[in-house]
Structure formats: C-alpha cells, structure tokens
Amino acid sequence: MTVSGGSMGGLFAGLALEDAGHEPTIYEQSTGDLHGRGAGIVAQENVRRFLERRDVVDPDAIATTSSERRFLARDGDVEMSRPDSMAFTSWDAVYRRLREAFPDDRYRTGREIVGVDPATATAEFAAGDEREADLVIAAEGGQSSTRRQLFPAVGPEFADYVAWRGVVDESDLAPAVADRFDDAFVFYQGQDLLVLAYFIPGDDGGTAPGERRLNWVWYDTLENRDRSAVFTDATDAEREITVPPGALREPVRTRQLERASDVLPPVFSRIVAETPTPFVQAIYDLTIPEMVVDRVCLLGDAAFVARTHTAAGTAKAAGDAVALERALERHDALDAALSTWNDSRTEYGDRLVARGRRMGDERLGLADSN
C-alpha cells in the first residue's frame, strides 16, 4: 500500500496498516525532519489510545495536564473558574514518537506524489516514475494535491477571522506570568475575539515545571484589513492558509502587538509580545463528497478540515486510520472495506465540520476552544 504524506496523518495510517498485516510505504515530499511544525494540541482520548495500544509511547510521558478552566476579565482578574481535567501535548512530541515507531526502510523522504490513477492505485512521482499498489492513501494535509486532482471544484471556505498562534518557553516567562497559567486552561472572551493558553511539553519533550512551553491561540477578526496583506510573508510571497513561524512581515507583527495591547488582558498581551516567532492561520471549512475514489482514499485534513475550535484535527486523522484498519480486517474484499469506511468516515467528517461552524458562530465567528 502507498501512503502519500509522511506527517501525522500518514504515520497514523502507516502504523494502523502495519497492525492490520500490511506493509505500507510512506512517501514524504520534504527532505528534512518535520520536527518543529505546529504547536499545541489537545490530547484527545483516541490519540492517547492509539499511542498506548501500539506501544508508540506512554501518552502521559508527552502530555501536560490542567485541572481548572479559568476565564479572565479584561483587567486580568479571574472572572470565573470551574474544575475541568484536560490533557495537552504538542504536534512535534506526537510526530516524533510516531516517526520513531515506523520502519525507516519504508519511510521515503524527498518523494512527492504528483498524480494518482484511482482505477489502478498507481501513484506518479515528481521524478517521473510510478508505483502501483493495492491502495493509495492520500494523507497530505489541508492543501492536498490528490484532493485537488480528484475534486477540482472543492476548495476552502474561509471564515471572517484568523488564529494568531505562538509558543513561549516557560523559562523565558517571569514566574508571576507562568503562575497564571499553571494547572489551568485559561481564556479571555472579548468583543469579536477569543484568546486562550495552556502549557505543552517543551521542545525536548519535558513536561516538568520550568521545562514546558506556553501555547496560545488568539482568534480575531482582521479589523477590515486586507487579508492578502496579512497573508503576504516576509519574502513578499502571498500564502493561502498559513504564514509560518518567523515569516510574518514586520508591519503585520507590529499591528498585532498594538492590537494585543489595546484589547487583551495584560497577561495575554505580555505573552503575545514575548513570543519570538508567532504565526497566523486562516480559519476555514473544507468538505468533500466522498473519501474514496476507486482505490484511492483521502484521510485526515486531506478530506475534511474543521475549524480548530473542535480540537479534533489530530484526533480525526487517528480515527480515520483506525477505522480503515478495522474495515480492512472485517472485509475480505477491498471494495467492501473501502465502501464501509467511506460511508462512516464521510458522515463523521460532515458532522465535525458542521460542529466547527456552529462553535465558531456562537460568538460572532469565534468559540471557546481550539
């Protein structure tokens, strides 16, 4: 089996197929290590089960926890709090363990799949060669080229707000600032904005106090600014979805800092200002009519992208992979397995995207989770 994309979704798929008795080969277009992409994620239960049951890693070893959900007032005082147990991790902590668990000889870097033939499950590579398999699984993320080939009329539907994001090493925070977020999932809801923060493992995976990173997400409107100006990076290249860490133009960064000072509680504006490499993501919805076309599957964000308020992007990729593993185990015929998987996971994807829209619309296009 051929897996296109060696990031989180591709590794979930590869490891699940391994457990089902197959020998998938993962092809990743990048030549370098993907470590360092992304930031904090909620450690959903199905992701924790995936890691534990497959002996990838003890999920508790790469997670931080909080016991309280705390809401701040504009002046920074605690407006309300309630008990709420949550577990958090980081994209790079999960990716690193998944990558270590997958066989090196079947993880090929610098190999970009540029086209597929669904009828024969043939993948065409940028180098000009081809590979035929029983099944092609496209786990290429939200900008999947395979999805664009199979469903050219489908594209992202942008919301009218963005997510500014960043992480700060706990060791770089003043103790008084770090204390405000310790053991808590902290929020501030303002006019047309929402900001939240929680601790995640450090860059080296450390979860002890002093070793962690503070992850923050700020949902905000563009204040009538030209979207293309915000999403033009420091090299003057216009990006569609994300301006990654270190690539924000200085005027965009300056405007962000000024607005943070104007509208956020002091503790939040301070962590925004102390973040060395913030980045910005467009908030959008994406759905497809089917996740299977003949012998090609679309998995994870290659198929459906729900707003980040659902905290379900990583969990959906893991769920897609486990459901595919089970369908293949329960059906002797590949067509029957794919049909069953397609029906259940397409329905789930539609429901998840609809849920994300509702969450975002609850507060003028914003919501209270990431």
Q: What is the pLDDT of residues 75-116, one digit of tens each?
A: 999 999 999 999 999 999 999 999 999 999 999 999 999 999
Based on the number of CB atoms within 10 Å of its own CB, is 326 exposed (0-12), middle (13-18) or buried (19 or more)? middle
**pLDDT-derived band at 133, boundaries 50, 70, 90:** very high
Chain segment 165-212, per-residue pLDDT in tens: 999 999 999 999 999 999 999 999 998 899 999 999 998 889 999 999
**What is the reported pTM?**
0.93
Q: What percent of the chain has pLDDT over 70?
A: 97
Model confidence pLDDT, tens digit, residues 139-150: 999 999 999 999
Residue 365 banded pLDDT, cuts 50, 70, 90: low
pLDDT reading at 318 higher than 70: yes
Q: 232-289, pLDDT tens digit by residue?
A: 999 999 999 999 999 999 999 999 999 999 999 999 999 999 999 999 999 999 999 9
Task: Tell me which long-range contacts 66-69 makes (C-beta under 8 A, separation of at least 24).
Answer: 66/183, 66/184, 66/185, 66/198, 66/199, 67/183, 67/184, 68/183, 68/184, 68/185, 69/184, 69/185, 69/187
Average pLDDT, the chain: 93
**Domain 2-31+110-155+286-361 matches domain 59-89+159-284 at the CATH topology level:** no
Burial class, 258, CB count within 10 angstroms (exposed 0-12 / middle 13-18 / buried 19+): exposed
What 3-state DSSP class applies to 357? Answer: helix
Band (pLDDT 50/70/90 cuts) for residue 223 is confident
- What is the CATH number that goes with domain 59-89+159-284? 3.30.9.60
pLDDT of residue 35: 64
Q: In what order do the strands lie in the sheet with 2-4?
A: 107-109, 25-28, 2-4, 136-138, 296-298, 292-293
> Which of 143-175 are b and which e, b meaning 16 or more Cβ less than 10 Å from the residue's Cβ?
ebbbbeebbeeeeeeebebbbbbbbbbbeebee
Contact 279, 337 (CB under 8 A): no
Domain residue spans in the chain?
A: 2-31+110-155+286-361, 59-89+159-284
Instruction: Give the pLDDT mean for 16-38.
Output: 85
Residue 360 amino acid letter? G
The strand order across the sheet containing 193-200 reads 40-42, 78-90, 64-72, 184-190, 193-200, 213-221, 157-169, 279-285, 242-243
Question: Could you give the residue ranges of the DSSP H alpha helices within 27-90?
Answer: 45-53
The domain defined by 2-31+110-155+286-361 carries CATH number 3.20.20.10: no
